[in-house]
Structure formats: C-alpha cells, structure tokens
Amino acid sequence: MIGIIGAMEDEVETLKADMEIEEVITKASMTFCKGRLEGQEVVIVRSGIGKVNAGICAQILVDCFHVDRLINTGIAGSLDVRIDIGDIVISTDALHHDMDATEFGDPRGQVPRMDVLSFPADMELVQKAVQANETANPDIHTFTGRVASGDQFVASAEVKQQIVEDFHPLCVEMEGAGIAQAAYLNKISYVIIRAISDKADNSAVMDYPAFEKKAISHSVRLVKELMKLL
C-alpha cells in the first residue's frame, strides 16, 4: 500500500479525482481516501501545513492503512541557482533546518538522541521518480538532493543563505522532514517530490502566487507516472 501525502488541498484534489475511491476515513481532522490510482493501491490525504501535521499524517497511514511506502508531493523554494521555478527536486534525504539543540552539543539540525542527522530516502523510489518526471514533464529539469524542512516560510535571502551554509540542501519547505522521520522510525520507504514554486528569497511574494498552480501540476503528473513504475 502506498501513502500519498500533500500539504494543501490543491495538491491532492486532481489525484483524488483520477483515482477509484473505495473508502473515505477521517482521522485527526484529515480525510484519507483509499482506492486505486494507475493500478496501484493507494491512500491519498492532505496533511495540512507544517511538520507536526505531516508527521501525524504519516503515522496514521502506517498504523491504520499499513502503508509500506510514503510519497510526499508539494512545492518548495529553490536553494540552488541551477534550479528554476517549475523544476522538480526529488529527495535523497531530508532534515530539520530549524532543529537547534547546539546548547547540548548537538549540531544544528540534529534531533537529540536520534542516530542520524538526516533521514535517507529510498533510492529505488528516487530513481523511479526521476524516470517518471523525465517522462511526465520532459520540458523541465529534474534534480536529486537534500530537502530541508522547517516550520517557517523562507522569504529572506539571509535565512536562505544560512540554511545553505549549514546543510547544503537543494530546496526548503515545511513538511518533508516530518514525513521522512516518521518513515525512518517505522522502517518504511519514502520519497519527497517538490516542484519549485519560488526562489526562497525576497522575490517570494511576487513569484509564489504566479507559479504555485504550475508547480503543483508538475507534481501531479509525476506522481501518476510514478504509479505506473511501482
């Protein structure tokens, strides 16, 4: 069973419209739609914004639907000059850029008493997601690398630069590491798919509304193509 998590309703509505829905269950104020998409058994759900919502959502998918793979779709801000608005970033790993227990001797980003700094994605899922995007969205570029998550919308060049210096991620967003940590703790596979909607700098206010819809459409096409490869 595959769990597909989007942070916003716009991200999951198109996928839900294309799936054969067999059951709808509400838990923790989240609506879980179980059924089939492109021949795969899936549960599609909107988690809501932020790492706590995302982590709760992932755990419900594990406990109640027994998923063994998690796919997180959405949008993100680019942290690499090579990556343009509309391009796709696929996670190799994810971490919390806003976790700071340095007073206790841990490096920035380290969750205290966890045995890893970042949570590795399933490389088979990563490779198949790359293949799926090259088929579904041949007009855009695909990048693989680290995703940095935090409970803040990064719209400052100064904050962006600090995250880049500390962690060297390709993009920044608000849910992925919560899902990645849940997958790691439950010993299941995951991958984060992010369409770039802004440059995560002082141009965000201008870029975000204009490109959000386009970015989401890229993610949706990718996920549908990915289902055919799994």
Confidence of residue 205 (pLDDT cuts 50, 70, 90): low
Nearest to 171 by CA among 201, 129, 135: 201
What is the pLDDT, as a whole number, of residue 204?
55
What is the pLDDT, as a whole number, of residue 202?
59
- Count CB atoms within 10 A of the CB of residue 141: 15
pLDDT in tens, 48-100: 999 999 999 999 999 999 999 999 998 888 999 899 888 999 999 999 999 99
Domains and CATH numbers, the chain: 2-229 (3.40.50.1580)
pLDDT in tens, 136-159: 999 999 999 999 999 998 888 889
DSSP readout, 12-80? HHHHHHHSEEEEEEEETTEEEEEEEETTEEEEEEE--SSHHHHHHHHHHHHHHH--SEEEEEEEEEE-S
Q: Give the distance, in angstroms, between the CA of residue 157 and the centroid of all CA atoms in the same chain.
A: 22
Which residue type sits at 144? T
Q: Give the distance, in angstroms, between the CA of residue 95 and the centroid of all CA atoms in the same chain.
A: 12
Which residues are part of the catalytic machinery? 11, 198
Nearest to 7 by CA among 228, 224, 215: 215
- Measured CA distances, 158 to 85, 162, 164, 183 (Å): 20, 6, 10, 31
Confidence of residue 199 (pLDDT cuts 50, 70, 90): confident
Mean pLDDT (the chain, rounded): 92
pLDDT in tens, 4-60: 999 778 779 989 999 999 999 999 999 999 999 999 999 999 999 999 999 999 999
pTM, rounded to two decimals = 0.94
Q: Give the distance, in angstroms, between the CA of residue 148 and the centroid of all CA atoms in the same chain.
A: 10
